[in-house]
Structure 1
């Protein structure tokens, strides 16, 4: 088929259960493949990694020269030096770099939340891994970190869904209504979080919002706009990818019972299992960048301002980088995947996501050995960029002693 239609075919909902054959087609078509809308797809590992580290590749959507954006993007979509400044300020409350800090201190609390959610798991019934477990776990964790009252946690699902839907990569620019819904959700969520933070000004409560508004050094304080954008980003990024990571993990282990059995016998393998999941079924499949100058990718010149879609999940399956890339192998050596991206925009929530995924899958191990998928493939979310099941029904077969 025409390689110039790959983006349209990849983002077609019919491809959501298994986009990997299309990624193989992308890699065989060349490192840089032009699409009918003028954008380029990059699907090979080494080219993706190089572009993620190239300062000429902008993450800022305003690099397209569009005038419709009325607010500054969150730091995830900014370039240095502004990206570095805001990311540094946002990460200050997590503790000094390369130290245990706040995230490692959350391990015990993550385990407790996980155990609470396991109360829904009973023999002889069907559970939805997404709604009953993979969604509420990271949402509860990030809300506690930020200082969101537990009774307000349900308010964030509609906001999150609207924001994530509007952030998808699409081959056609027909998403004005979705973009408006996403902007409205961002405004409402940001306003709520900003009000919550202001209630803590002068009355520290030990959470992230409190730390931000009570920063004693004026040079290190976020403006109100920056605080709202950062809080929204932390809440969305703090759970959306983790939901996919946990759900994809359960689905993959149930499809590979030999690895599930080994993991039950050797639970110390869990960190390596999670790393292989980040390669094999990553929560984020694509990122878009805009070149600030003409750039060359293995002989192809891409003009300044041309949208470039980096297909991270394709790079993770590149046989030029990984041996037998379509095989799930928790013992894989040198597993430097692109599951959390790379370069200056490497996912800052990666350490917390790893802790949550390890805790969740470890708690589920006693149940998964006899569990059965209620539907395979399951229904997937609409979003092609943040790919994961919307529901994952699982039948619990036998009682598990607590």
Structure 2
């Protein structure tokens, strides 16, 4: 059973934070139940890392500015001052030049400045302007699915929808979108960390960073000469501001928006549809009452969170759950576990599209609350509306979900339907 509680051996816990393991990761919920019930704040000696799973503790870590993203901000002041400059002459320089300029991985004031320059693109007014275009894209993709002999909801609908949307926002030509798929998947694996970093993958990562940097540098050069109505042109128009983005920051921000703007939304759409099709009574309920679509999206985010975890560093010694987290130690907060915490959600392992309240942490919280959450929600609602309209009798054709082999992001590689 999904909510069955059992004891996990040390070796099993260790394997959880290593490379993707089908037996361990395809169904993470028994492990989350174990953490929530028995070891909500657990220290892993071999990683010098803490694992935090309860909703209250996860929310606290995410909101407390004493937990930071940058290594140097977790060090004592004297140690920060003694740090040698970071060497740029390494094979990983193209990757580091992007990651070092991602707002996702920075603290204030840099994070605040980068986020502030981009945030206007995700306001309610901006979302309202995008709504009709997203509907048109979703309708076109849904209609095209009917022409396929064995429709794959991920490859034919859930993947292209957010890619087209974010590409249009950035100003990427339609003929270039297909290149983004591998680039985005590669950076999703880079974000996952050390579990699967083989020499081949290192080479792939560096090549992807070089290629995507060159691509956006060329696109930015075009927009400098011929501005259009897109995000890159808007950000370039602000170049006179004292806090304007440098070219490297602009390139890195475009890459981040591409990765974050589609990896999570593909999973949101696919995971929510999977849950609905695995719970036909909820699918029937939604068909009968489409006003529950926004609520169904929120429940999909909670029940099968697109991002399963994120990390912070303690900048001071910190007491949490009766444990002392030492300055500089990594804290891995388990979003997927927090969203199944019975202390916060009644019957947490039950999929209920009418659940209220539903204050899940799928988009994190605090200063790093997902900037693109309004866009992801809008795309999710429009996607469900299109699926219900075109395919009210949809059923799963696969015997079991084909989960992608990524520990950080939870989503399917394919999802065949009838």
* CA spacing shift, 1:382–1:369, aligned 2, 3 Å: same
Aligned residue in 1 for 2:402: 379
Is 1:146 the counterpart of 2:170? The answer is: yes
Is 1:107 the counterpart of 2:131? The answer is: yes
Which deviates further from its counterpart, 223-232 or 67-76? 67-76
Is 1:41 the counterpart of 2:51? The answer is: yes
Aligned residue in 2 for 1:278: 301
Aligned residue in 1 for 2:69: 59
State the alpha-carbon separation in 1 of the partners of residues 351 and 161 from structure 2: 25
1:188-222 superposed Cα distances (whole Å, 9 cap, x missing partner): 21221122022111532110011111225331421
State the alpha-carbon separation in 1 of the partners of residues 124 and 225 from structure 2: 27
- TM-score, normalised by the number of residues in structure 1: 0.91
1:225-270 superposed Cα distances (whole Å, 9 cap, x missing partner): 1111111111111111000000001100100111111111111110
Aligned residue in 2 for 1:24: 33
State the alpha-carbon separation in 2 of the partners of residues 345 and 7 from structure 1: 27
Question: Where in structure 1 are there 5+ consecutive unaligned residues?
Answer: 396-402
State the alpha-carbon separation in 1 of the partners of residues 193 and 34 from structure 2: 19
State the alpha-carbon separation in 2 of the partners of residues 351 and 285 from structure 1: 19
Distance apart, 1:224 and its partner CA: 0.8
Which deviates further from its counterpart, 146-155 or 199-208? 199-208
State the alpha-carbon separation in 1 of the partners of residues 289 and 221 from structure 2: 48
State the alpha-carbon separation in 1 of the partners of residues 395 and 408 from structure 2: 28
* CA spacing shift, 1:7–1:133, aligned 2, 3 Å: farther
Aligned residue in 2 for 1:399: none
State the alpha-carbon separation in 1 of the partners of residues 11 and 342 from structure 2: 22
Aligned residue in 2 for 1:6: 13
Match of 1:247 among 243, 253, 270: 270
* CA spacing shift, 1:226–1:216, aligned 2, 3 Å: closer
Question: Where in structure 2 are there 5+ consecutive unaligned residues?
Answer: 1-7, 76-82, 88-92
Match of 1:160 among 166, 184, 201: 184
State the alpha-carbon separation in 2 of the partners of residues 124 and 160 from structure 1: 26
Distance apart, 1:61 and its partner CA: 5.4
Which deviates further from its counterpart, 289-298 or 245-254? 289-298
Aligned residue in 2 for 1:400: none
* CA spacing shift, 1:331–1:135, aligned 2, 3 Å: same
State the alpha-carbon separation in 2 of the partners of residues 304 and 311 from structure 1: 20
Is contact 1:166–1:181 with CA below 8 Å preserved after alignment?
no
State the alpha-carbon separation in 1 of the partners of residues 264 and 255 from structure 2: 14
* CA spacing shift, 1:275–1:381, aligned 2, 3 Å: same
Correspondence 1:291-370 to 2 at 5 A: 291-370=314-393
Is 1:91 the counterpart of 2:98? The answer is: no
Distance apart, 1:301 and its partner CA: 0.8
SS at match of 2:356: coil
Is 1:263 the counterpart of 2:286? The answer is: yes
Is contact 2:286–2:293 with CA below 8 Å preserved after alignment?
yes
* CA spacing shift, 1:124–1:133, aligned 2, 3 Å: closer
Distance apart, 1:364 and its partner CA: 0.6
Is contact 1:32–1:297 with CA below 8 Å preserved after alignment?
yes
1:327-385 superposed Cα distances (whole Å, 9 cap, x missing partner): 11122122110010100000001100111111111111145442221224221111111
Aligned residue in 1 for 2:107: 79
Distance apart, 1:29 and its partner CA: 2.4
Is contact 2:101–2:249 with CA below 8 Å preserved after alignment?
no
Which deviates further from its counterpart, 139-148 or 175-184? 175-184
Which deviates further from its counterpart, 119-128 or 236-245? 119-128
Which deviates further from its counterpart, 351-360 or 197-206? 197-206
Is 1:218 the counterpart of 2:227? The answer is: no
* CA spacing shift, 1:315–1:54, aligned 2, 3 Å: same
Is contact 2:277–2:396 with CA below 8 Å preserved after alignment?
yes
SS at match of 1:201: helix
Give the count of matched residue pairs: 390
State the alpha-carbon separation in 1 of the partners of residues 270 and 358 from structure 2: 21
* CA spacing shift, 1:179–1:103, aligned 2, 3 Å: farther
Is contact 2:16–2:25 with CA below 8 Å preserved after alignment?
no
State the alpha-carbon separation in 1 of the partners of residues 362 and 170 from structure 2: 25
Is 1:227 the counterpart of 2:250? The answer is: yes
Distance apart, 1:102 and its partner CA: 1.8
